[in-house]
Structure formats: structure tokens, C-alpha cells
Amino acid sequence: MERWFFIALSELTPVPVVAVETTGAGSFHASHVAGQLVGIPEITSIAKSLGAKKISQLTFDLAQQHSGLVNSVLVSDAQAANATWRFASTSPHVWELMGKMTNE
């Protein structure tokens, strides 16, 4: 994930990044809102193995350096599952819920 985050935010190709997490696994959102690297006490999302209780320092630093391009959104587990299903049924691309960035 960090590699794609870095590419999206590089000075050569700056594009907006929307970090979408479920409310039970919002470690990026927690750090983004706090303005500092913080963790969450536990992963309560249905996709427990995909979550990270704390994002990496590099991910946080990149988000802070490019704060005008980064937005963080929390959705419910049901909304994430529904979006995955809708993408899969309307797109020729394969979609899946993303994996964790780190689990410190």
C-alpha cells in the first residue's frame, strides 16, 4: 500500500488520494484527524485480518506532506461490502477490500 500511496503523491504525478476504511479499522483516519501518528485499540471490523492497529510512519509522513491531496473517509462494514459487490458487478476490473499497511 505504501508504494502506491507514494506513487500517487509523488511530485511527478500528484493525484488526490481517498483513504477509505471501515469504522472498525480506521487507523489511518485516527492519525489523519489527530494530526499525529496514533493507533487504535483493536480492529472491530468484520475483516479483522485486513486491518492495522497503527499505520506506518512513512504513510503518515506522506499524508502530512501532501495534506491537500489526501482525504480520509470512514464507512460501515456493510457499505464496504456493498461497494465491493457493486464494483464487481458493474466493472470489467477485479475489486477486493485492500490489505493493511502495517501492524505495529
Residue 103, in any domain of the structure: no
49: containing domain: 2-90
Query: In Å, what is the CA distance from 57 to each residue of 32, 76, 90, 94?
Result: 12, 26, 36, 30
- pLDDT number for residue 91: 73
CATH of the domain at 70: 3.40.50.1100
Residue 98, in any domain of the structure: no
Tens digits of residue pLDDT in 28-81? 999 999 999 999 999 999 877 778 899 999 889 988 988 888 999 999 999 988
Residues 6+ apart with CB under 8 A from 41: 53
